[in-house]
């Protein structure tokens, strides 16, 4: 059982480039989330989805886009990368909302230079 | 809006000693409370959760936490730490809703031999 799989593990981007962070889960979870983690700041919610075809903004959505065409996949798109997007990105999933624990991927470390 | 405060950024404990990590929350009603652990280079793993009922909750890896409404606290404890407990610990609260998780900034636990 793979759980939540994120790719790539590491990536370096130049300013203005774009990329897609991949996230897939094999637990048939309806809820999926993207967080970013900056040193000493905890995790901030970027986008979330409550099911295929439904997405919504979190606390820090600017500069990012998401899509949810299937239950399994929830890719995060960075357009016009900026140094402020240097961070560690975590994808998570849950079977339902607030009272279900989140299952996290191992993260993608992104550096924008 | 709910908030979570972890007053200690770093804590150093000797192996075999007891541990208490502090967490204070701010929320009007009874919150849903969680503790997550993040080992270096890994995603977050749920240690334990509190929704209602018995205010002392047991988790994995020998951890426990006590919910104290009068103090708005949900401190994490372990009677005897092991070197493998060295990690980042996050207190998390949820007021409900798909986007309701609020993370504390984390406490970095260092274990001295």
**pLDDT tens-place string over residues A26-61:** 999 999 999 999 988 889 999 999 999 999 999 999
Q: Which of A101, A106, A107 would you mutate first to test chain B, the one with the most B CBs within 10 A?
A: A101
* pLDDT score of A42: 86
pLDDT in tens, A2-13: 799 999 999 999
Bridge partners, residue B14, by sequence: B112
pLDDT of B95 reads: 67
Contact A104 B45 (CB under 8 A): yes
A1's CB contacts (< 8 A; 6+ apart) are A26, A27
Q: In the predicted model, what is the mean pLDDT of chain B?
A: 91
For chain B, say whether A99 makes contact (Cβ under 8 Å): yes
Residue B30 touches chain A, beta carbons under 8 Å? no
The structure tokens listed for B7 are 């007053």
pLDDT score recorded for residue B98:
65
Q: Which of B3-7, B35-39, B74-78, B100-104 is predicted with the least confidence, judged by mean pLDDT?
A: B100-104
């Amino acid at each position: 059982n793979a759980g939540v799989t994120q790719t790539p593990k590491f990536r370096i981007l130049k300013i203005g480039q774009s990329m897609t962070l991949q996230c897939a889960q094999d637990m048939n979870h309806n809820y999926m989330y993207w967080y970013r983690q900056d040193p000493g700041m905890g995790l901030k919610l970027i986008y979330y989805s409550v099911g295929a075809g439904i997405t919504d903004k979190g606390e820090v959505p600017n500069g990012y886009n998401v899509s949810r065409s299937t239950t399994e996949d929830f890719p995060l798109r960075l357009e016009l990368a900026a140094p402020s997007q240097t961070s560690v990105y975590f994808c998570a999933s849950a079977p339902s909302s607030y009272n279900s624990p989140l299952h996290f991927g191992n993260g993608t470390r992104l550096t924008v230079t | 809006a709910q908030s979570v405060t972890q007053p200690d950024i770093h804590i150093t404990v000797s192996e075999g000693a007891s541990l208490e990590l502090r967490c204070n929350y701010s929320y009007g009603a009874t919150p849903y409370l969680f503790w997550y652990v993040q080992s270096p280079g890994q995603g977050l793993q749920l240690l334990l959760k509190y929704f209602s009922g018995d205010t002392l909750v047991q988790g994995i890896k020998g951890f426990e936490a006590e919910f104290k409404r009068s103090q708005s606290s949900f401190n994490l404890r372990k009677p005897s730490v092991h070197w493998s407990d060295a990690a980042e610990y996050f207190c998390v609260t949820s007021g409900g809703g798909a986007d309701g998780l609020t993370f504390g900034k984390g406490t970095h636990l260092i274990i001295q031999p």
